[in-house]
Structure 1
Amino acid sequence: MGTDSEPPGTAGPPAPRIGGTPVDGLLTAALPRLTRLMVAAFTAEVPAYAALPREELAGDVTRVCEHGIRVVARALRHGPGLADPGELLPLVRSAARRAEEGVPLSAVLCAYHLGWQLGLDELLAGAGPGDLAAVAATQRVALTQLRLATRAVTDAYLDAREALHGYEQAARHDLLTALLDGRDATEAAARAGLRPAPAYVVLALAFADHPDEALPGTGGAVAARRKVRRARSEVDHDARGGALHALGPHGGRVLLPSDDAGRALGEDWGRLVALVARLADRTGAAVLAGAASAVPAGVPAAVAESEEVLRVARTFGRPPGAYRVVDVLLDYQLTRPGAGRDRLAALLAPLERQPALLETLRAYADSGFRRRATAEALHIHPNTVDYRLRRVTVLTGLDPTLPAELPRLRAALAAHRWGTT
């Protein structure tokens, strides 16, 4: 039996005979009818081939079937292997065309295996009990040729898809850049094969680390790439391929096409909340998102807003999930630049040299101004909480135990926390 490295033209044993006839002759005689059977089987059993234009089936697909039959007939006559390096070139070129047409690789390989099965059925149809050795020899040759063809076709298909993917990614990146810059994105969208959306939802995402990212060596890097790959896949699936994104291990930006900027963050908000939840589930890491929406010309402002919302949510310890301005409105407003914010933050300046007091005050606010919950959170005695709160009053003039002081105290904490992040 020949091998992949067998020199071209190496003579093999005589062609097997079934029913007294050389199998290569059986195959060559059946070539026209067998080709028609193969093409018919592809369209009947492989949906991606049924969707191909008739001229493609009658042209390229038919020619490749004929060539494949001749390759196997040659191998049956002279021995398995390749007669020359270019023998599979028609199959390679056809696989690249299927990749360009968007036919899945699984469909291409299914068609090849189906064709090989029909060819073997043709060869073995007249076999009798005395042909057992010839049947075994025929199957060995046919399977060797199938292995060679599968490898060549798969490599060609993946090479073509990689080249197409690179072009598509570059075109999508150009479209994303145009939108982020506030430029007219019509031409960039056409190059990317997309229609400009009436509006876009902008998500600013922050990914926590997956536990596997702490693995030593290359394991952590592999886990980080896996997290990003799964996030991209989930986003693309949700937007049916229309999403634009720039994502890395720690997060990034996503633009989702939308028909209505207002509705996306209103009645359709649940869909975005669900998407962020699925991202966390798929990546195995906590995900925090700031969201905004706009027509294409307003994307730069929406990006700024979404990232500001994300920063507010992170700074004030919001749990993982998706947030709009309306969801963090008070903290968002309290952190806007201005003399008011600076004066609010300055109220707590005396505590900057007393980190235990500042920590206690923050925990007190986060617990809903409950002393026992604060003590449990800080693992200290409730009396210690009381003592520290009295010290806060002495140093700042703000009394955390008075309900009337709580709004001003909370505002001061928000302004101070923002200024120290």
Structure 2
Amino acid sequence: MPGQSCAAVPLERVIAAMTAQQTRLGGRLYAELTDHVPSYRAVPRELLDRIWHRHFQRALSVVREGTVPAPEDFGEADVAWDRVARGVPLGDGLRAFRRALSAIRDLFLAEGTEQGLDPGLVVDRTRCLWELADVASVQIAAVHRQAEIASALFDARRRADFLRGLLHGTLSAVEIHSGAALYGLDPARRYRAIKAVPGGDVRPDALERLLDSHGRRNGRGALLTVLDDAVAGVVEARPESGDLEVTAGLGPPTGLAVVHRSFRAAGRMLEAARAYGLRGVYDLSDLSWRVAVVAEPELAEVLLDRYLRPLEAEGEFGALIEESVREYLASGRHVREVARRAHVHVNTVRYRLRRFEELTGTSLDAPDTVVELSWALAARDLGTPP
């Protein structure tokens, strides 16, 4: 149509006038961003200039053609990755983009009016620029979130790789120091390795977050990850399990260079605590020699044969003997205390203890008997955890 042909000439003049001001407008926009959006001070000027050029040329195409690109045609993945890597929040990125589009829209209105552009065309292209801002904002937000998720997954994998190497003793001194600096660990401090498994319906990743938040709330540094369905890592101090459904083993304090030794100990503590059906956080001072009971099943069988299985031939009375012997050791070998707890006469307790000695051919006064019997009773507990 003739009207359209006549309108196309001044439209190109408007576009040419806008292009002439691209650099000046970009410099003003850069100054505004660095003044009012602090996170953008970390983005190099030359990079912002390239992004500004991309936005400006896209907007000019919309002004010229009167059509807005489809969301999938906005190639903003590189920008999103850069902003995420530099710690620029999504809100700041959208704020900067809208400032840029607003500046371009204002420039178009000013030049369109000055060049005498058809008012209907000005309204139509202004509407297109508004639509461009909306469509691009949605796409930028989606790509930014995807980049955040991908970045978080990458960081989680990198953290897991560092902890796996640290806990298994496969890292060099340089790798330990660089990883410690990256994750906020102090190589001069001593850390305790921890290995924990969740109970109930708690997932390992949820347990990791809970233990980490407990540590931070109490001002205790920690670095944790999920390794092989367990939460593993290093902590500065014993974590408070509170109401958490968790069983955890805690190794002794060591330097980061040898924390793999602490992790091996933590694994043994966890194995022992689970074998006894315990809940909470346990180290060697809690479990003591009972850790060895779990680790030495052959010896446990020998002691069970020597001290407890001979009682089985006595039936129910044998069970009463075992109960009295157990209480006798638990009470510090005080017969009257055993009788009081069991609500029986002291002579009844003495008879049961004497019968135990007859059946096993041992003496409850002998130190070796006390040690070995305690070991056998702990081994029996493994078969019937509380």
Q: Is the radius of gyration larger for structure 1 or structure 2?
A: 2
Q: 1:247 to 1:177 in 2, by over 3 A?
A: closer
Report deviation, 1:414: 2.0
Q: Which residue of 1 is the match for residue 379 of structure 2?
A: 415
Counterpart Cα distance in 1 of 2:126 and 2:354: 93
Q: Which has the higher helix share?
A: 2
Tell me how many residue pairs correspond in the alignment.
346
Output one character per residue of 1:315-352: Cα deviation in whole Å (capped at 9) or x when no partner: 444443x3322233364466664998666544233567
Structure 2 residue 269 is the aligned partner of structure 1 residue 309: yes
Counterpart Cα distance in 2 of 1:350 and 1:204: 39
Counterpart Cα distance in 1 of 2:297 and 2:70: 80
Counterpart Cα distance in 2 of 1:194 and 1:127: 55
2:308 to 348, 351, 372: 348
Report deviation, 1:137: 4.8
2:25 to 24, 27, 34: 34
Structure 2 residue 258 is the aligned partner of structure 1 residue 298: yes
Structure 2 residue 21 is the aligned partner of structure 1 residue 61: no
Report deviation, 1:139: 5.9
Q: Which residue of 1 is the match for residue 206 of structure 2?
A: 227
5+ long unaligned stretches in structure 2: 332-336, 359-364
Structure 2 residue 67 is the aligned partner of structure 1 residue 80: yes
Secondary structure of the corresponding residue to residue 88 of structure 2: coil
Counterpart Cα distance in 2 of 1:344 and 1:317: 21
Q: 1:137 to 1:288 in 2, by over 3 A?
A: farther
Output one character per residue of 1:274-308: Cα deviation in whole Å (capped at 9) or x when no partner: 4x44xx6xxxx512222113224433321221122
Q: Which residue of 1 is the match for residue 225 of structure 2?
A: 245
Structure 2 residue 287 is the aligned partner of structure 1 residue 328: yes
Q: 1:83 to 1:162 in 2, by over 3 A?
A: closer
5+ long unaligned stretches in structure 1: 1-10, 212-223, 257-263, 375-381, 399-403
Report deviation, 1:107: 3.3
Q: Which residue of 1 is the match for residue 195 of structure 2?
A: 204
1:46 to 9, 27, 37: 37
- Alpha carbon RMSD of aligned pairs, Å? 5.5
Structure 2 residue 245 is the aligned partner of structure 1 residue 286: yes
| Corresponding letter in the other structure for 1:273 | P
* Contact kept? 2:90, 2:141, Cα under 8 Å: yes
| Corresponding letter in the other structure for 1:291 | L
Q: 1:110 to 1:288 in 2, by over 3 A?
A: farther
Q: 1:301 to 1:96 in 2, by over 3 A?
A: closer
Output one character per residue of 1:157-196: Cα deviation in whole Å (capped at 9) or x when no partner: 5665666666655554543343344344235447858468
Q: 1:416 to 1:156 in 2, by over 3 A?
A: same
Report deviation, 1:207: 0.4
Counterpart Cα distance in 1 of 2:23 and 2:165: 54
Q: 1:333 to 1:118 in 2, by over 3 A?
A: same
TM-score, normalised to structure 2, is: 0.63
Q: 1:182 to 1:37 in 2, by over 3 A?
A: same
Q: 1:32 to 1:162 in 2, by over 3 A?
A: same
Report deviation, 1:36: 2.8
Secondary structure of the corresponding residue to residue 273 of structure 1: coil
Among all aligned residue pairs of Structure 1 and Structure 2, give the percentage whose two residues are the same amino acid: 21
Report deviation, 1:309: 2.0
Report deviation, 1:205: 0.4
Q: 1:70 to 1:232 in 2, by over 3 A?
A: farther
Q: 1:66 to 1:184 in 2, by over 3 A?
A: closer
Q: 1:116 to 1:252 in 2, by over 3 A?
A: same
Q: Which residue of 2 is the match for residue 108 of structure 1?
A: 93
| Corresponding letter in the other structure for 1:303 | F
Q: 1:70 to 1:210 in 2, by over 3 A?
A: same
Output one character per residue of 1:36-91: Cα deviation in whole Å (capped at 9) or x when no partner: 33322322333321234xxx1x21112312331332232133223229987x44x4
Q: 1:154 to 1:235 in 2, by over 3 A?
A: farther
| Corresponding letter in the other structure for 2:378 | A
Q: 1:192 to 1:294 in 2, by over 3 A?
A: closer
| Corresponding letter in the other structure for 1:66 | H
Q: 1:39 to 1:248 in 2, by over 3 A?
A: farther
* Contact kept? 2:66, 2:124, Cα under 8 Å: no
Report deviation, 1:204: 1.0
* Contact kept? 2:245, 2:279, Cα under 8 Å: no
Q: 1:286 to 1:150 in 2, by over 3 A?
A: same
| Corresponding letter in the other structure for 1:245 | T
Output one character per residue of 1:344-369: Cα deviation in whole Å (capped at 9) or x when no partner: 544233567979959x959x97xx88
Counterpart Cα distance in 1 of 2:205 and 2:119: 50
TM-score, normalised to structure 1, is: 0.59
**Worse-matched range after superposition: 227-236 or 306-315:** 227-236
